[in-house]
Amino acid sequence: MARTVSKAMLGAGFLALAGVAMANAGAQKAPSGAAEKLTYHVSPGREGWTDREPALDPQSVTAADFGQVWQSPQLDGFGEKPARLFASPLYIGDLDFTEGAFAGKRLALAYAVTSTGYAYAIHAGSQADVEAGAILWKRRLTESPCQDGQMGNLATPVIDREAGRLYVTSCRGDWIWDIHALDLRTGEELPGWPLEVSAQTVTDDVNRNGTSHFVAGQIYFQRGALALSADASKLYVAFGPDMQGFLVSVDTARESGGRVQPAISSAFSSMPSETMEQGGMWGASGPAIDPEGRIYIASGASVLNALNKGGIAGVYPDVEHAWGQSILQFRDTADKGLVLAGTFSPFNYCQTAASDIDIASSGAVAFDLEPGRATSHRLLGLGAAKQGLAFLLDRDHMPGGTTRRPACSEDPASDPSLLAPEDQPAFGSRGPTLIFGPYSDSIGMGNSAKSRSVLAHFRTAQGAHYLYYAGSAKEGADFGTNVPPSLVRARVVAEGGKAPFLRVDASEMTVTLQNPGAPIVSSYEGRGGVVWVLDTNVPRSVDIYQPDAPGARLHAFDASTLTPLWNSGNALYTSGKYNEPAVVDGMVIVGTDRLQAFGRRTATTPRFADAPVREVKAGSDASVGKAVYGARCASCHSAASSGAPQSRRWRAIRWSASSRP
């Protein structure tokens, strides 16, 4: 499927920033539905479902003319490090311009942020003088992106459409994080920004849980997608993973001295003391916000405790206000800031946290049933996570307290989530729903993890509610081999006014995914559903910055049958981990080392060359498996358990690209 790339200059450009367009005006019809993707996983509740895509039904996706329609230039690297997109692209279908080179135009823009510390606005529509894929502006967020350009950014930004702002984070120098507010049309930093997040600003004065605070010299990284309150006055930013997690609430419009000055209004740490290593809030989905304004975040475990064999004692089950391996519900009040309102801890949180089989890898999703259909209609779902178990909760009645987690348990029937009435095959008793097997509460870190993606919710036109999970079942020694299913669907059973529960009703058994991001469901008025999954196409332990790291692969499945419809073959370049596509206006936009868009091609659409085909070779620097994990992670993570860096070199090794959760 050879493709030639057409190159054209944007022209005079915009604010002296221009890019090389790698497609022409025939690549895609101008968007007509004013579609938007303003936040990760489509909605503040992280539902992962867009219901405005009539042009992307199964018949369209399987058509002979479905393929790549445009791509941007390769995005900027840093030194020898190429760009990678851990952040998922965002999109506005009709942004109006009143001044500058594009005055009087309404353009479709995709927004991308790279690991090398750049933010971009890229034209995603079709205008006679602005080609699809053209870079309209770029902004260098940091001159010294962390980890030599591997961690300049990891998190998906969020857009405040009304204020015309793109909120995005970056990491600079000696692991200092900044929150930026950029103008959507120009990329200019807005007055009063950026806001520093560091030991200087996240103090025990702003923390609402004990005396914990950011510690100077320790490494915190910010992977979770940013989230905005409904009125856009608060921005929520999550941090993790190994030491402990922090949820930070930022006041975006505080006035100081007659001008707007953003400030950290409050924070909440997963542990009450900075000496306790548990509860990183590192999942790619970040905080979820429900229609009632409540905020949800999943906390994790500590790989250091697992590797050091700290056991259950290192999980701190007897310590008050210790909130590792839990889902936390908050309200953000004007007088108190972040207030813990409810919690959930799985029945086996002690065992799984001790083995670093944490639930933070799959964030929380808020969705609603029709009122009166069941005893609970405001629901919260957790993806399969590292262990492969799915949980369903009642948001109005979170089962845990706000002082202390329940006692350790080995009884799955004691799990406080909404359980199916029948025995579960994994347990021989009632318990949570196993999505990806086999079940284990001792093996599930590294390549043995079943899933690291958030679920997607879909309501059909007939009123059925389904949840989709991406990951993989496991087999072999230490569960080191991925096997189908890699996509599973569970139905939310809500009948007869009883409590709702989950029941697996379909598993796709022909495709094996290696390390997929979150599934996205597209449909039109609940019909013609398609599930989109972006797979990095290599196991989790592969260093995606190695020269032999393969390209990613985008998959499309029929939402009603899970039948594979299409995949991108070798079209995609290497991508970051835990990325998801933007499904908008008849296009599927993917971030790799550039933006690449797929849709219905026309006779004038350019053809694009495939990305170079690379294979992970045994013995290479990108080899996978237990030996690599041990070499790249265990030797470094097992250093001083306080997490205080022993040297700058030790920190660089410890947080190498392949040693993330």
Tell me the mean pLDDT in the region 512-521. Answer: 98
CATH number assigned to the domain comprising residue 180: 2.130.10.10
C-alpha 444/C-alpha 448 separation (Å) is 5
Distance of CA 306 to CAs 180, 246, 271, Å?
35, 21, 17
C-alpha 598/C-alpha 65 separation (Å) is 10
| Closest CA relative to residue 657, chosen from 118, 149, 77 | 149
Q: What is the pLDDT of residues 169-220, one digit of tens each?
A: 999 998 999 999 999 999 999 999 999 999 999 999 999 999 999 999 889 9
pLDDT attached to residue 174: 85
Strands (E) located in 509-601: 520-524, 527-535, 553-558, 564-567, 582-584, 587-591, 595-600
551 CB neighbour count, 10 Å cutoff: 23
Q: What is the pLDDT of residues 268-320, one digit of tens each?
A: 999 999 999 999 999 999 999 999 999 999 999 999 999 999 999 999 999 99
| Total tally of structural domains belonging to the chain | 1
Element (H, E) at 306: helix 303-307
Report yes or no on 368 lying in a domain. Answer: yes
Sign of the dihedral through C-alpha 373, 374, 378, 380: negative
The answer to whether residues 305 and 243 touch, using CB atoms and an 8 Å cutoff, is no
Report yes or no on 154 lying in a domain. Answer: yes
C-alpha 500/C-alpha 507 separation (Å) is 21
What are φ and ψ of residue 417, in 5° steps? -75, 175
Q: What is the pLDDT of residues 135-177, one digit of tens each?
A: 999 999 999 999 999 999 999 999 999 999 999 999 999 899 9
**Taking 50 as the threshold, does the pLDDT of residue 451 lie above it?**
yes
Helix (H, G, I), strand (E, B) or coil at 92: strand
Report yes or no on 388 lying in a domain. Answer: yes
Report yes or no on 2 lying in a domain. Answer: no
How sure is the predictor about 256, in pLDDT bands with cuts at 50, 70 and 90? Answer: low
635 CB neighbour count, 10 Å cutoff: 13
Mean pLDDT for the chain overall? 88
Q: What is the pLDDT of residues 51-67, one digit of tens each?
A: 999 999 999 999 999 99
Please report where in the chains the tokens 């702002």 appear, as a residue: 165
How sure is the predictor about 32, in pLDDT bands with cuts at 50, 70 and 90? Answer: very low
Sign of the dihedral through C-alpha 378, 434, 454, 125: negative
Q: Is the pTM of this model over 0.75?
A: yes
**Taking 50 as the threshold, does the pLDDT of residue 124 lie above it?**
yes
Report yes or no on 627 lying in a domain. Answer: yes
Report yes or no on 1 lying in a domain. Answer: no
The answer to whether residues 376 and 393 touch, using CB atoms and an 8 Å cutoff, is no
Tell me the mean pLDDT in the region 531-560. Answer: 93
251 CB neighbour count, 10 Å cutoff: 18
The answer to whether residues 86 and 579 touch, using CB atoms and an 8 Å cutoff, is yes
pLDDT attached to residue 258: 64
C-alpha 646/C-alpha 651 separation (Å) is 7
How far from the centroid of its chain's Cα atoms is residue 632's Cα? 23
63 Cβ contact partners less than 8 Å away, ≥ 6 residues apart: 600
pLDDT attached to residue 661: 55
Cα radius of gyration (the chain): 23
**Taking 50 as the threshold, does the pLDDT of residue 637 lie above it?**
no
pLDDT attached to residue 626: 41
The answer to whether residues 222 and 155 touch, using CB atoms and an 8 Å cutoff, is yes
pLDDT attached to residue 189: 97
How sure is the predictor about 385, in pLDDT bands with cuts at 50, 70 and 90? Answer: very high
**Taking 80 as the threshold, does the pLDDT of residue 19 lie above it?**
no
Distance of CA 344 to CAs 148, 297, 469, 567, Å?
38, 11, 20, 37
For Cα atoms 43, 44, 47, give the angle at the middle one, nearest 5 degrees.
50
301 Cβ contact partners less than 8 Å away, ≥ 6 residues apart: 278, 279, 280, 315, 324, 325, 352, 353, 354, 355, 356, 357, 358, 360
How sure is the predictor about 126, in pLDDT bands with cuts at 50, 70 and 90? Answer: confident
Strands (E) located in 186-326: 195-197, 227-228, 234-239, 246-251, 255-256, 259-260, 263-269, 288-289, 295-298
Name residue 387's amino acid: Q
How sure is the predictor about 648, in pLDDT bands with cuts at 50, 70 and 90? Answer: very low
Tell me the mean pLDDT in the region 378-393. Answer: 98
Higher pLDDT, 10 or 462: 462
**Taking 90 as the threshold, does the pLDDT of residue 22 lie above it?**
no
User: What six digits make up the tokens of 115?
Assistant: 């690991």
pLDDT attached to residue 629: 40
Tell me the mean pLDDT in the region 533-540. Answer: 94
How sure is the predictor about 100, in pLDDT bands with cuts at 50, 70 and 90? Answer: confident
Higher pLDDT, 255 or 251: 251
C-alpha 120/C-alpha 97 separation (Å) is 17
User: What six digits make up the tokens of 646?
Assistant: 């022993």
Higher pLDDT, 104 or 615: 104
C-alpha 465/C-alpha 415 separation (Å) is 23
Report yes or no on 183 lying in a domain. Answer: yes
Report yes or no on 3 lying in a domain. Answer: no
pLDDT-above-70 percentage for the chain: 87
Read out DSSP for 402-469? Answer: SS-PPPP---GGG--S---SSPBTTTTBS-PEESSSS--SS--SGGG-S--S--EEEE-TTS-EEEEE
The answer to whether residues 271 and 279 touch, using CB atoms and an 8 Å cutoff, is yes
Q: What residue numbers bound the domain in which 461 lies?
A: 8-659
**Taking 70 as the threshold, does the pLDDT of residue 655 lie above it?**
no
Name residue 394's amino acid: D
C-alpha 567/C-alpha 554 separation (Å) is 5
**Taking 50 as the threshold, does the pLDDT of residue 624 lie above it?**
no
pLDDT attached to residue 612: 86
Read out DSSP for 361-373? Answer: TS-EEEEEPPTTS
